[in-house]
Amino acid sequence: MASVLVPVLYISIVITSLLVFSHFYRKRNAGKLYEPYFSSHPERDIYVSLLQKNDPPANETLLKSALVRRAMTDVGRVLRLREDKPALQNLLQKGSVGDDLWNSLLQAEKELEAEIMEVVAEANTFVEGWGSIIFQTANEMIANEKMRSVYEDTAAARARKEQKYGKIGKHIELPNIQPVFMQGPPPSGPPTPGAPAPAPAAPSTTPVKATNGLAPPSSGRAESVVSSDGEGPDTPSKSPSKKAKKRK
Mark which of 165, 183, 214 sits at the end of a domain.
165
181: pLDDT strictly greater than 90? no
Residue 51 and residue 20 share a domain: no
Q: Is residue 119 part of a domain?
A: yes
Give the pLDDT of residue 144: 94
| pLDDT of amino acid 99 | 82
Q: Which domain holds residue 55?
A: 35-165
End-to-end Cα distance, the chain:
132
The answer on 127 and 59 residing in a single domain is yes
Given 165, 194, 227, the domain boundary residue is 165
Q: Residue range 218-231: average pLDDT?
A: 42
21 & 137 share domain: no
With CA atoms as reference, report the closest residue to 123 among 66, 75, 73: 66
CB atoms near residue 170 (< 10 Å): 6
pLDDT reported for residue 61: 93
Number of domains in the chain: 2
Verify that 4 and 65 share a domain, yes or no: no
- Same domain? 40 vs 160: yes
pLDDT of 177: 63
Helices 60-94 and 134-152 cross at an angle (nearest 10°) of: 80
